[in-house]
Amino acid sequence: MSLKIDLEECVRCGTCSGVCPQNAIILTEFEVLVTERCNDCGICEKVCPLGAIEVP
């Protein structure tokens, strides 16, 4: 998993977690957790309205 989320840009809107086919992104009130289930598919990066996600 090499997914990077810019926590200064992220507003925790939930768009990324809603489209993740692996259910690998967990949003809490204070943080965004990316679990080991993430396979770097890049779907979250494509749908993030703020461009806060990068999948190298």
Residues 1-52: tens digit of each pLDDT: 689 999 999 999 999 999 999 999 999 988 899 999 999 999 999 999 999 9
Question: Is pLDDT above 80 for 54?
Answer: yes
Q: Are 47 and 19 contacting, i.e. CB atoms less than 8 angstroms apart?
A: yes
- Strand (E) or helix (H) holding 54: strand 53-54
Residues in the chain: 56
The pTM score is 0.88
- The architecture (CATH level 2) of 4-51 comes to 2-Layer Sandwich (3.30)
Pairing of strands 25-27, 4-5: unpaired
Closest Cα partner for 47 from 23, 14, 22? 14
* Count of C-beta atoms within a 10 Å radius of residue 54: 13
